[in-house]
Amino acid sequence: MRSILPWLLATSFLFLALYFYWQKNEAESRLAIADNQVAKIDQELEEQTEAVDSLEEMVLPPDTMNLVPPGGAAFVDELGSLSQSDIQRLKRKGLKNPETDLMNDLNRKQGQLIPTEGVMGGTMAIRDTRILNDRYAMAYYEDGHIGGYMLLKYEVNNGKINWKVVDSSKL
């Protein structure tokens, strides 16, 4: 009986070793199959993305895309911040919230101030404005096809704002 026990243990260990080896190979095989399926799906997705991108280029004309000012058209963030003394002077002249009041008034009057007409069905509009100080502002305008800059002078009397284009340049 003593000689059978070691043989039984050795046989069971050998059986377990073979069983786990078979399970490991089965898992590796399944993993390889799954990797191949993922690679196929990635390739199909990439092909579909390329097809959609090429269709978008054909369907959307450039003038229907979001307008992005050309390089140099975006103003530096530090430019156009009213100083505290500018704010106080404008408040004394009748503006409750000077920068907001000026921007809103300029947006209401932009059709009268922009010196260029839109082309190819575009409508000129001010896209970016900076209030420089208590007398001057700078604006970027465009219609999606052409654009330019304006230097504006404004006067505030009893809360009423009058604008005058001092200079403008087309891009």
Per-residue pLDDT tens for 106-128? 888 888 888 887 888 778 888 88
**Looking at the whole model, is its pTM more than 0.85?**
no
My answer on whether 115 and 35 are in the same domain is: no
E strand spans, the chain: 125-131, 136-142, 147-157, 160-170
The total domain count for the chain is: 2
Q: What pLDDT is stored for residue 124 in this prediction?
A: 86
Domain that holds residue 20: 4-59
My answer on whether 83 and 28 are in the same domain is: no
Distances (CA, A) of 108 to 64, 103, 126: 24, 9, 10
My answer on whether 30 and 81 are in the same domain is: no
